[in-house]
Amino acid sequence: MTALITGASSGIGRSLALLFARNGYDVLLVARREEALRELAGEITSIGRTARVIPIDLAVNGGAQRLFDQLAREGVRVDVLVNNAGVGAMGTVAEIPLDRQLAMIELNITTLTILTRLLLPGMLERRAGGVLNVGSTASFQPGPLMAVYYASKAYVLSFTEALAEEVTGSGVKVCCLAPGPTHTGFAREASMETSRLFSLGAMSADEVARIGFEGWTAGKRLVVAGTMNRIGALTVRFAPRALALKVTKRLNASR
């Protein structure tokens, strides 16, 4: 069995790659940073599994199709797809450069959709395997000061839950992992290190990955990592929408 993990060079993706390898999977490691991928591949090889490094920028238009075409040419079968690669940016829609917002949509939404669509038919034909999409607790409400990121993660949750229902009874497992603040490089790249959201505490990438892997293995459609995050996701569903917007805006703002 082979699992393809995007965004595998660090954070939750790296931890998920190690978990799949420790549970008997060979892995395809996809991300931009080749050196980090090769270091991870060495760790995985040392525990007796095969790890292949595929350095590619999936935020570039056409990147997902090029990845699929390469795998198809080489006859590589993907049993499990982990759509972990994602990017965020803090700021107003009027301030964040347009190209960065479009790259966010390309990676968080378009790439995830393309890879799922291209790899899913093989899983359905074999009646095995699955898809694990990494969303966020941002999936549950709009996010002022991170509008595009929150909207992109809302898409991931909606898409995953609908897909899970479509493949019911097929033998293919589809799950959305929704972490809250997590100790990865994401906060730094999204300019969120000074936000109030991260000052409330963050989980480790290893813990989040374990919860997601166990949830996907158990056939769950949605896994929210962490007790406080589960409470928050539930609360926002019943809170007045205007209040939820104001609270989220305050949490996203710098301290």
pLDDT digits (tens, 9 = 90+) for 158-180: 999 999 999 999 999 999 999 99
Q: Which two tokens stand for residue 26?
A: 């060979």
pLDDT digits (tens, 9 = 90+) for 177-213: 999 988 876 655 655 555 555 556 689 999 999 999 9
- Give the active site residues: 149
pLDDT of residue 50: 96
Residue ranges of domains in the chain, CATH in brackets: 2-252 (3.40.50.720)
Distance CA 200, CA 247 (A): 13
Q: What is the per-residue DSSP string for 219-245?
A: T-SEEE-SHHHHHHHHHHHHS-HHHHH
Average pLDDT, rounded, for the chain: 91
Of all residues in the chain, the percent with pLDDT exceeding 70 is 89
pLDDT of residue 41: 97
- Residue 212 CB partners (closer than 8 Å, separation 6+): 12, 16, 132, 134, 175, 177, 179, 223, 225
Q: What is the per-residue DSSP string for 34-97?
A: HHHHHHHHHHHHHTT--EEEEE--TTSTTHHHHHHHHHHHTT---SEEEE-------S-TTTS-
In the block, tokens 């993907």 appear at 78
- Amino acid residing at 192: M
Q: How confident is the model at residue 26 (pLDDT cuts 50, 70, 90)?
A: very high
pLDDT digits (tens, 9 = 90+) for 238-252: 667 766 676 777 787
- Amino acid residing at 53: V
Model's pTM, two decimal places?
0.90
Q: How confident is the model at residue 154 (pLDDT cuts 50, 70, 90)?
A: very high
Q: How confident is the model at residue 234 (pLDDT cuts 50, 70, 90)?
A: confident
pLDDT of residue 31: 96
Is 188 buried (19+), middle (13-18) or exposed (0-12) by CB count in 10 A? exposed
| pLDDT mean over 108-135 | 98
| pLDDT mean over 27-53 | 96
pLDDT at 49 over 90: yes
CB neighbour burial string for 19-28, b if at least 16 within 10 angstroms, e if fewer: bbbeeebebb
Q: How confident is the model at residue 228 (pLDDT cuts 50, 70, 90)?
A: confident
pLDDT at 105 over 80: yes
